[in-house]
Chains A and B, each alone.
Chain A
Amino acid sequence: MTATTRAIHLGRQEKPKRGSLLLLIPGIASVVLLGVLPLFIVARNSFAVADDYGGITDGLTLENYAKLLDPVYSKTLLFSLGLGLLNTVVCLVIGYLTSYYIVSRPTNRQGFLLLLVIIPFWTDFLVRTFAWITILGSGGPIAGILGIFGIAGFSVIPSNLAVVLGLLYSFLPTAIFPIYASMRSIDPSLKEAATDLGASWWGVHRRVILPLSSPGILGAALLTFIPTMGVFVIPVLLGGGKDPLVGNLIVTLYTEFRNQPMGAAVSMVLLVLMLASMALVGLALKRSSTKRTTTKKTEA
C-alpha cells in the first residue's frame, strides 16, 4: 500500500466519524440548553429569595424547603404521594391483567387489540379528561338515569372518585405497553410446563409470569407514579380543585403567586422523587436479574 492510498483510506475512515459527531451536535445542544441547564436553574432558584415583583434576589436560603413542612404544602405533598401510589398500583394490576389477556390471544389478534390501546393513548389528553365530564357530570347520562329513579341533582363530578377514574383512564395505556412488551418475550412453553408440573393459576403467575415480566412492570410503575403527581388538569376539571396535586401547586406558585423560589422547591421535590424511584427500580431490576442467575447456577 502506497502512502497516498493509505492516506485516502485513513481519510475515509476518519471522515465519517467526525461528520457523525457534527450531526449529533444539534440534538445534544437542544437537550442540554432546553433541558439540562434549565433544570440546574430551577435547582438554584429553589434556594433563592423571592422579591416582590415575581422575580428573585441573589440570596441563598433553605427557607423554601423549610416551608414545605408547613401543612399548606405537606398536606398536598402527602395527598399526591398517596394518590400517585394508588393510581400506580391500580394501573399495574389492571395493566398486568390486560397485557396477559392480549398476550394469550393469537398473534394476528394481538396487533388489533394493541391498536385499541394505542388510539385512546394518542387521543388528546384534555379530550380524554372532559369526556368524563360528559359522562359523569350533572347533565350527563349517569345523572339522567339516576334522575329517572328520583335521585335528582346527583353528580360524580366534582369528586375524588372522578379524579381517580380520570387518572386511571389517562395512565392505563401507558402502563400496558411496557408490561405487554416484556410479557410477549416470555416463552409460552414455560407456562405449559408449570401447569403440567401441577402449578395452580396463582402459582404460574407468582413463580413464572410475574417475575419474568418484572422489568416491564417496574418500567410501567416509573411511567405512572411520578407523572401522576405532576398532573394538574384532572384535579381541576374532575375534582373541582378542592384537593390539589403537586402539579397544581407548581402551576399556582408560578403563574398566580409568582413565587418562583417556592415553586422551584416544590419542583425539586418531584425531581428528587423521580431520581429516587429510578434508583429503586434500577436496584430492583439488578436484584431480580442476579437472583435469576444464582438460581440457575444452583440448579446446574
Chain B
Amino acid sequence: MDRIVNGIARGVFVFLYIPIVAVIVYSFNAAGTNTRFDGLTLQWYVELFQDASLMQTLRTSALVAVITATVATIIGIMFALGLARYRGRGRGALMALIALPLIVPEIVLGVALLSVFSTTKMPLGILTLVLGHLIVSLPLATLVLMSSAAMLDPSLPEAATDLGCTPWQTFTRVYFPLLRPAVVAAWLLSFTTSFSNIVMSTFLSGVGSTTLPLKIYSSLKTGLTPSINALGALLILLTLVIVLLVGVSQMRRILVESRT
C-alpha cells in the first residue's frame, strides 16, 4: 500500500510543476500559438516591456505593494513587540483578532471595505488599494514577527535599559538586529501578498489605478497571448527569488509550525 501512496505522491509533485514548467517553456516559444514549438525567442519578453499600459499597471502595483508592505511591517513589529511584553489578560483574544482577516473570506473583506468607502464617499484609488491590501497582509506580517519576537530573551531589553538605553535605542540596537530576518520575511511576504492580490483590488481600484493582476485578468478574458506567458514566467521567477530570500527554514516555520 505504501508503494501506491508513494506513486500518488510523486504524481502530485509532477502535477504541481506541470503548469509552472508549461508557462516558462511557452514563454520562449517562437510560434505564436501553443500548439507548435518553433524554437526559442525572446520576442514576447520584448513586447511585454514595450506595452505602455501594462508598464503603467506594473508601476501602480509596485507602488501599492511597497507602501502596503512597509506599513504592515511597521504595525506588525509594534504589535509583535507589544504582545511579547504584554502579560495581562486577553493575550489569546488579541492574537485571534490580528489573525481574523486570514479566516474571513477575502471577498467578504473586499466588499466590506468597498461598502465603507462608498458610504464615506471616499474615491477609489491608490489609498483604498493600500488599505485593502493592508488588512490581508497585516496578519501574515504580524504572525511572522510574533513567532520571532516570542523567542527573544526578555532580559536583553532589560539589560539595555539598565545600561541607559532609551526605548528607541533599545529598539534600534537590540530588537531590530535580532528581529531582522523576520522583518525581511514579513516585508517580502506582505509585498507579494499585495503585488499579486486580485480579490481586494477587484473592489477597491479606481479609474487610473488598475493593478497588474487586474490587467492580466481582463486581458485573459479575451484570450491568452504569448506575452502573458512571458509575464507569468517573470512572476514565477519573482516567487522563486522571494522564497529564497525569505529562506526555506523560515518559510517552513511560517507555513507549518504556525499551524500546529
For residue B19, CB closer than 8 A to chain A, the reply is yes
Q: Number of contacting residues on A, CB 8 A?
A: 99
For residue B240, CB closer than 8 A to chain A, the reply is yes
Docked-complex contact A233 and B217, CB < 8 angstroms:
yes
Docked-complex contact A120 and B16, CB < 8 angstroms:
yes
Docked-complex contact A101 and B5, CB < 8 angstroms:
yes
In the bound complex, how far is the Cα of B167 from the Cα of A111, in angstroms? 39
Docked-complex contact A169 and B239, CB < 8 angstroms:
no
Total contacts A-B at CB 8 Å = 278
Q: A41-B119, A134-B34 are in contact. Are A22 and B103 (CB under 8 A)?
A: no
Chain A, residues 22-61, CB within 8 Å of chain B (1/0): the string is 1110111011101111110110010000000011000000
Q: A20-B86, A230-B106 are in contact. Are A27 and B142 (CB under 8 A)?
A: yes
Name the B residues within 8 Å of A113 (CB-CB).
13
Name the B residues within 8 Å of A172 (CB-CB).
12, 16
Chain B, residues 72-116, CB within 8 Å of chain A (1/0): the string is 001110110111111110000010011011011111110111111
Contact partner, A120, options B17, B132, B216, Cβ 8 Å: B17
Which residues of B come within 8 Å of A, CB atoms?
1-2, 5-6, 8-10, 12-13, 15-20, 22-23, 26, 33-36, 74-76, 78-79, 81-88, 94, 97-98, 100-101, 103-109, 111-116, 118-119, 131-132, 134-135, 138-139, 142, 161, 167, 192, 196, 198-199, 202-203, 213, 216-217, 220-221, 224, 228-229, 232, 235-236, 239-240, 242-243, 248-249, 251-252, 255-257, 259-260
A-B contact pairs, 29 of them (CB 8 A): A21-B82, A24-B78, A24-B83, A26-B79, A27-B76, A28-B98, A30-B138, A38-B116, A39-B109, A41-B115, A42-B115, A100-B9, A111-B249, A114-B255, A119-B20, A119-B240, A122-B243, A126-B220, A127-B23, A130-B228, A131-B20, A135-B18, A141-B34, A169-B15, A178-B259, A180-B256, A184-B256, A230-B105, A233-B198
